Chain A
Amino acid sequence: MPEYELNDDGVVVVIGSGAGGGTLAHELTRRGIRVVLLEAGKRESLTSFSQVPNEAFAQLTWLDPRTSSGDWAPARTNPGLPAWISKTVGGTTTHWGAVTPRINPWETRARTTYGEVKGTSLIDWPISHDELLKYYALAEERMCVTRRAGNPGMPASNNFKVMHAGAKQAGYQRVHSGYVAINSRAQDGRGFCIQQGFCVQGCKMGAKWSTLYTEIPRAEATGRLDLRIQAMATRIEHGANGRVSAVVYRDANGAEQRQKARVVCVAGNAIETARLLLLSETGKFSRGLANSSDQVGRNYCHHVLNFTVATFEKPVYMWRGTSQAGLVEDEAINDPKRGFAGGYFIELVGFDLGSLPLAALPYGWGRDYASFMDGYRNMSAVMIVGEDMPRPDNRITLSRTAKDAHGLPVAHVHVDEHANDIAMREHGQRQCRRMMEGAGAKRVVHSEGSPFATHNLGTARMCADPRDGVTNAWGQTHDVRNLFISDGSVFSSAAAANPTLTIVALALRQAEYISREMTARKI
């Protein structure tokens, strides 16, 4: 592996090695560009992944403190851990459920489609859906997505049989074992899924796509990737010309380092990306880097997430099998007659015993609670994932009270739910209940919301008018030509789809653009 000099100002520095950063690093290096990839976490492997659920959680999760407020569930259930994201090489692609639906065409025209929704800051995407489709096809092929790119679907697990029967009873038509970035047959040098049910703990088969064992080793094989682990970016610096010039980070020993750069790409997941831009304020950029619009950190979206868990007369063993191989697409439409704008997917979830109470049922106690848990063998679960409304004051700011190990203010996450989000969740709960009862459920419970956000979006969004967001249609910041955002922060609106596929598609597209602009010496 190359080790580039700290004062080498010809390298591209990518911050974060997940879906966006890992993919981008591979795409740039294979085009001949030299990349320094900074990752705050350690490097695990198929061998080192723990299969004890709470150990795996500690192994992969970003556990640095955060603070939160607002009326959303995480501020009550997990105020110090409002978002469950990863801090490890491969980022959140190590622990994700690998659910990869596409954003629907009308969702990229959210403001136009939904009209003016009071109390929101909806905008349209500056990219056409046709343009996205081209990159979706590339991303699906690369990630070996089931039911796309000629790949077979996942086989039906017990848990999916329940979902399928219930969905048909509820009158749904578009019900199948899902689009998942998990090998349904051996390919890409990786084996097929053996139905372990340990997707979230790190897939020891490597059947689930993760940049940890796909994009990153391929980038290393080009001889142009300098991956630095336990390297926590703390500030992006700029020169007198207003271009970014270096990234300051703490190395594994806590020592401060400064890597010069020709281009900087930030892919720290929407909460940390916004925090890093805010931490990089200077006299010239007094509100934070690339923040002349005052939009950095605002319009934070996290999806309408809600779990429905049911018990049946007979066993389901929902922990056996691919955790999320099941999808209902019928509610991913825009039908204002339902009482809300936007749509949602209904997705299968199989919980291990340790995660079930913490993730889906963190509320009650006593006989009632315990008797429900006693039905674990006979349980089935689904969740909704829907579009939430962007609001200017749902935002990431720098905490006034809490600091991290380096003495820097941590991210504060504030969310007040919009009435549209609540109406969608209630509709989703009714529909999920209908499904479960249709399949013969004895008892059905819903979570209040999600105890953690897992899809973090919109905090440096793409926009045609620079006043509405932070970047242009390529994730290039409006204020600073050689500064790019390469993760879910750039989503102009949340859409209903789980975001990783779109993050990868946008990273593939962004890499083409950066390479072209570097060749043309525009950056």
Chain B
Amino acid sequence: MSSNGVADRRDFLKVTGVLTGCLAAGSPLALLAPSRAWALDLTAFTSSQGATLLSVARTVLPHDGLDDAAYAAVVHSADADAARDAAARKLYTDGIASLGSGFAATNEDQRVAALKKIESSAFFQQFRVKALSVLYSTPLAYAHFGYEGEAFSKGGYLTRGFNDLRWLPEVPLGDAGPTPGAAS
């Protein structure tokens, strides 16, 4: 903030680090994106802190086919919280520091062992919930898990497979109702 109480625009634009990656060739987003390379500015964490946090996210929720760009969204959200709130910033940066600078370079078993040790810490718990709430809401996760998302604009699933399961017996008519609009 500047002395007159008006937020200084430069504070908002101050970049402290950057996360970069490259979408896998087969990634659904790669078909749409102008370029497969991506870069994400950080405004509270350094590049190294961001990389550690991304590695924590991948270790907490390891989906091998899911692109790093989805995990970067988790780091981006944590970074935004840290930029807004000094207590969150301290929680995250202290937590990251406790893992050591080599964390991201170790193998998965070592990373899991390191996280097990801090499983009950406020840092781990807060970041785990952050990862749960952000990762599975990204378009990349939708594509990875096959979730089809918003349906209203497409007329719901009434004619798009809400009842297309054929590997179990059909439900007798008395236990369910007719499909509206279907030929009887």
Contact = CB atoms under 8 A, between A and B. Distances in A.
Contacts of A313: 167
A321 interface: yes
Interface in A332-382: 352-354, 356-358, 362, 365-367, 369-370, 373-374, 376-377
Contact of A196 (B152, B164, B169, B174): B152
Contact of A158 (B61, B129, B133, B164): B164
Interface stretch (A25-33, A47-55, A246-254, A482-490): A47-55
B38 interface: no
A444 interface: no
Contacts of B168: 161-162, 164-165, 439-440
B178 interface: yes
Nearest to B145: A376
Among B60, B157, B162, max chain A CB count under 10 A is at B162
B170 interface: yes
Interface string A155-180: 11110111011000000000111000
Interface in B146-163: 146-152, 155-158, 160-163
A97 B156 CA distance: 17
A28 B14 CA distance: 57
Nearest to B112: A366
How many A residues are at the interface, by size bracket? 35 or more
A184 B165 CA distance: 20
Contact of B148 (A53, A54, A156, A320): A320
B5 interface: no
A164 B162 contact: no
B176 A155 contact: yes
Contact of B177 (A146, A175, A357, A367): A146
Contacts of A176: 174-176
How many B residues are at the interface, by size bracket? 35 or more
Given A358-B133, A362-B129, A192 B62 contact: no
Nearest to A354: B137
A43 to B, nearest CB: 20
Contacts of A196: 151-152, 156-157
B39 interface: no
Contacts of A316: 165
Contacts of A352: 147, 149
Interface in A421-463: 439-440
A152 B148 contact: no
Contact of A160 (B62, B171, B180): B171
Contact of A320 (B152, B160, B167, B170): B160
B169 A156 contact: no
Contacts of B69: none
Nearest to B124: A365
A89 interface: no
A416 to B, nearest CB: 22
A515 interface: no
Nearest to A154: B177
Contacts of A146: 177
A315 interface: yes
Given A321-B157, A354-B136, A204 B171 contact: no
Contacts of B178: 152, 155
A469 B155 CA distance: 48
A177 B151 contact: no
A334 to B, nearest CB: 25
Contacts of B169: 161, 165
B95 to A, nearest CB: 15
Nearest to B108: A367
Among B63, B160, B175, B178, max chain A CB count under 10 A is at B175
Contacts of B156: 193-197, 205
A502 B62 CA distance: 44
A185 B174 CA distance: 17
Given A156-B171, A165-B169, A365-B128, A320 B161 contact: yes
Interface of B: 59-63, 112, 115, 128-129, 132-133, 136-137, 141-142, 145-152, 155-158, 160-165, 167-171, 174-180
26 contacts: A51-B152, A53-B137, A152-B178, A156-B163, A156-B171, A160-B176, A176-B175, A176-B176, A177-B176, A177-B177, A185-B180, A194-B156, A195-B151, A198-B152, A315-B165, A319-B148, A353-B147, A354-B133, A354-B136, A354-B137, A357-B132, A358-B133, A365-B60, A366-B59, A370-B63, A377-B146
Closest 5 CB pairs of A and B: A194-B156, A153-B177, A156-B176, A152-B177, A320-B157
Given A157-B163, A362-B129, 20 more contacts: A51-B149, A146-B177, A153-B175, A161-B163, A162-B165, A176-B176, A177-B171, A194-B155, A195-B162, A198-B150, A315-B165, A317-B148, A321-B163, A353-B136, A354-B136, A362-B132, A370-B62, A373-B63, A373-B145, A376-B146
